[in-house]
Amino acid sequence: MSTITSANGITFGDGTTQNTASTSTSVNTMIVATTSGTWTKPATVKSIKVTVVGGGGNGGSGQAPVGSMGPATGGVGGGGGYSQRYYPAASLPGPQPYTVGGGSAASSFGVAPVTVITGSAGAAGTNQVSSSPGGKIGSVGGGGAGSGGQINISGSSGINESSPAPSVGGNSVLSNNGNAMLYGGGGFGGTSTNVPVVPGTTGGQGVVIIEEFY
C-alpha cells in the first residue's frame, strides 16, 4: 500500500489520512473470533489490524462397494486463503461485520465503503469410486486466496499419496502438516474398501483475528 507524507499528515492508499501520532504501539485487545459477528469501534482506538483465514477444503469421499476391484480414497482439501490489513480508526465509520467460514467456506471482515478483506476457502477434494485394480485416489483441492489486504497469501494444495505414505491436506498460513483441526487446514479423503461410502473429513474452520491499538 502506498503512502504520501505531507505537512497535513500521512495519506494512505485507501484515501484515509492520519495527522496525529499514536501515543502507544501496544495491543490493548486481541479478539480471536471462531464464529461470525460484528466488531464495534471503541471510542479511543487509533487503529486495528485484522487477519482473516478461510476454511480449509473438505476431503472427498471414497466409494468401493463389495466386489469392486480396489479401494477408493477421496482427494484431500486445499488450505484456506489468508489476508491481513491495518485500518486507521478514521476509516471505520461504524460497526463492521465479519464472517468466519467453516470447512469449504470463506472468512471476511468489513462492509463497503470500508475496504473488505477476504480469505477464500480451500477447494474440496473430489469424490472417488474405485474402478481399477489397486484402487484409485481422487483429485486434490487447490488452496484458497486472500484479497483486499496489504498482505494476501494463498493456501496450498493438498498432496495425495498411495499407501503406505499418508495423504496431507493443504495448509493455510495458520495451519501445518495438513492438520484440519487447525485454522484453514484441508480435510482428508475418506478411504473405502468393500463398504459403500466413507466420507472425507471436514476442512479446518477459518478465523478472524482483530488487534486493537490505542
**Which pLDDT tens digit goes with each residue over 95-135?**
999 999 999 999 999 999 999 999 999 999 999 988 666 67
The residue type of 68 is: S
Is 10 within the bounds of a domain?
Answer: no
* Residue 8 placed within a domain: no
In a domain, 196, yes or no: yes
- C-alpha 32 chain-centroid distance: 14
Cα–Cα distance for residue pair 39/68, rounded to 1 Å:
53
Domain limits for position 146: 26-213
- Each residue of 128-184: pLDDT tens digit? 988 666 678 888 999 999 999 999 999 999 887 755 456 788 999 999 866 667 899
17 part of a folded domain? no
91: helix, strand or coil: helix
113 domain-assigned: yes
In-domain check, residue 15: no
For the chain, the domain total comes to 1
- Characterize the bridge pairing of strands 72-73 and 191-192: antiparallel
Does a structural domain hold residue 7?
A: no
95 within domain boundaries: yes
